[in-house]
A and B are shown apart, each in its own frame.
Chain A
């Protein structure tokens, strides 16, 4: 039997070493995360106001960005606040929790920036206070539930000289940037853009509930402007807190109309109603038509948001020209490029790497099995004669892909753009002035629904 003294490794040594190795193994990811938070000159101290649904989405995206240190979190609901605090602690941050944003801004003076992810009706209040406290602000869309609120944010940002980024995150998505700059504007693969449409069709969702024990006392709710716990949890459906589905879901896509077409609309006509959910105030379905003046022609666009069905192809923005069309979505599976039969061949663009033959989905070759020889050219497809029901039908469009992917959380590039701008390494992709124009574009839809007639915009609608 070997002598423990001669081997120099006793059972006690073994247990002690094992325990140390185990502890190191368990702590390794946290140590690595803590190291990535950093404390160098590039490191930014961040505060988060609002740890609800959207706040958590932004937190998850921001936690993947190096040199970001969350120093404070704020939420009027302790249940949300604890969640945010614990999540950040898990990732090596040490945030101070606050119920009131005013306390947060005064108690943690070394914040570089504040992320605002609260309900729309308090965006202006929270953003203006943070800007006045000398912080840069990233505020979730919709900028405000009123155009005047949005204007006040832009004015405050100008007065304080602080940065204000609004969370229309598609503007920082590399796929969207590539589509606009390279495909639509650079190579002009759509030809002359004549129309656009977009939609967000979402299935019925139940109202958000809350654990009875976790309900916020009524006096606290009233202090912060909420009527009751149900409205606090489901504020998107009530008029005093939000602009309804058109500002909740539509905001992202109507903002893309403005961004892609490079202009603001001159008129809007819309219809909608609260026809399904009896306990909501805002419309549950809205249909909109805008007119956008562009350098080539008036581009008429349609938009629909439905909250009672996910049928009809999900959510996307579709830009149509006389030579091609671009269907964009944050979900890559809905994204496709289409070439009109009359357009010049696109093979040269494939050779240049601008676009790609479909690798999957519509227009793609069937998958090759491991024992099959890959086809060097597409098989001759038999077109179904029976599918042509009218001689006036034009030739089928061919489907193509964009060779750009986003391998990050969808909000991450927009947050990165904000942080990089603070560091002086970039410019904001969605500054307050731009987002104000989008907010004005979007909020007038509700006026048009109520007026039941076409409403016009004047240039002053989009500025301070």
Chain B
């Protein structure tokens, strides 16, 4: 039996596997720490800080857009926890396909909020992330090292 050449299917699969793993870890870390940062104020982390930060965010978005306060407040209060859960799930490889879709949708919802306040720079940054999520979904069939694999894997 001959050794696989660099262009053989076995080597290609290995490269895709690592490519996806890198992307998954990056997106997982980014999402998780985006959630952690919501609990911080003046270098300290607490639930009180979280609700203060999120309250400010909700007020700010409502003040600068057509979105009602009840909607932005509910969204903001759940945002940090969602980011933590989804980030951790990506890092650990828990139902990665579903998690990527859910996290991608969460980023789309964030960009919707920024579009509503015409924060174009932020929208552009979120667009980059959403592109990365789309790329990750295209590679998700190469997902390995996962704690709880999708059934299709």
Q: A70 → chain B, closest Cβ, in Å?
A: 48
Q: Is A371 a contact partner of B60 (Cβ separation < 8 A)?
A: yes
Q: Flag whether A41 is at the interface (Cβ < 8 A).
A: no
Among A369, A372, A373, the residue within 8 A (CB) of B41 is: A373
Q: Is A371 a contact partner of B64 (Cβ separation < 8 A)?
A: yes
A to B CB contacts below 8 Å, 8 in the list: A370-B59, A370-B60, A371-B64, A371-B117, A373-B37, A373-B57, A376-B41, A376-B43
Instruction: From known contacts A369-B119, A371-B117, infer whether A376 and B60 are also in contact, taking CB-CB under 8 Å.
Output: no
**Which of chain A's residues have a CB closer than 8 A to the CB of B94?**
none
In the complex, A186→B57 CA distance in Å?
43
Among B38, B42, B43, B57, the residue within 8 A (CB) of A371 is: B57
**Which of chain A's residues have a CB closer than 8 A to the CB of B58?**
371
In the complex, A376→B40 CA distance in Å?
9
Among B40, B42, B53, B60, the residue within 8 A (CB) of A369 is: B60
**Interface residues, chain B, with chain A CB atoms under 8 Å away:** 37-38, 40-43, 53, 56-61, 63-64, 113, 117, 119
Q: Is B43 a contact partner of A377 (Cβ separation < 8 A)?
A: yes
In the complex, A377→B40 CA distance in Å?
12
Interface string of A430-447 (1 = CB under 8 A from B): 000000000000000000
Choose among A369, A376, A377 the residue with the greatest number of B CB atoms under 10 Å from its CB: A369
**Which of chain A's residues have a CB closer than 8 A to the CB of B59?**
370-371
Q: How many residues of A contact B (CB 8 A)?
A: 7
In the complex, A5→B40 CA distance in Å?
71
In the complex, A370→B119 CA distance in Å?
11
Interface string of A372-393 (1 = CB under 8 A from B): 1100110000000000000000
The 4 closest A-B pairs by CB, nearest first: A371-B60, A370-B60, A376-B42, A371-B57
In the complex, A377→B43 CA distance in Å?
8
In the complex, A369→B122 CA distance in Å?
11
In the complex, A373→B37 CA distance in Å?
9
**New contact pairs (7) apart from A371-B117, A373-B56, CB-CB < 8 Å:** A370-B56, A370-B59, A370-B64, A371-B61, A372-B60, A376-B41, A376-B42
Q: B122 → chain A, closest Cβ, in Å?
A: 9
Interface string of A91-118 (1 = CB under 8 A from B): 0000000000000000000000000000
**Which of chain B's residues have a CB closer than 8 A to the CB of A373?**
37-38, 40-41, 53, 56-57
Q: A22 → chain B, closest Cβ, in Å?
A: 39
In the complex, A357→B37 CA distance in Å?
24
Choose among A369, A371, A373 the residue with the greatest number of B CB atoms under 10 Å from its CB: A371
Instruction: Name the residue of chain B whose CB is nearest to the CB of A370.
Output: B60
In the complex, A44→B47 CA distance in Å?
62
Q: A300 → chain B, closest Cβ, in Å?
A: 45
In the complex, A372→B60 CA distance in Å?
8
**Which of chain A's residues have a CB closer than 8 A to the CB of B53?**
373
In the complex, A373→B40 CA distance in Å?
9
In the complex, A18→B142 CA distance in Å?
85
**Which of chain B's residues have a CB closer than 8 A to the CB of A371?**
56-61, 64, 113, 117
**Which of chain B's residues have a CB closer than 8 A to the CB of A377?**
43
**Which of chain A's residues have a CB closer than 8 A to the CB of B64?**
370-371
Instruction: Name the residue of chain A whose CB is nearest to the CB of B62.
Output: A371
Q: Is A370 a contact partner of B41 (Cβ separation < 8 A)?
A: no
Q: B49 → chain A, closest Cβ, in Å?
A: 9
In the complex, A376→B60 CA distance in Å?
19
Instruction: Name the residue of chain B whose CB is nearest to the CB of A373.
Output: B53
Q: A52 → chain B, closest Cβ, in Å?
A: 49
Q: A333 → chain B, closest Cβ, in Å?
A: 25
In the complex, A384→B43 CA distance in Å?
28
Q: B125 → chain A, closest Cβ, in Å?
A: 13
**Which of chain A's residues have a CB closer than 8 A to the CB of B37?**
373
In the complex, A369→B53 CA distance in Å?
13
Q: Considering the complex, which residues of chain A in the window 365-416 have a beta carbon less than 8 Å from any beta carbon of chain B?
A: 369-373, 376-377
In the complex, A13→B111 CA distance in Å?
64
In the complex, A366→B108 CA distance in Å?
25
In the complex, A461→B53 CA distance in Å?
65
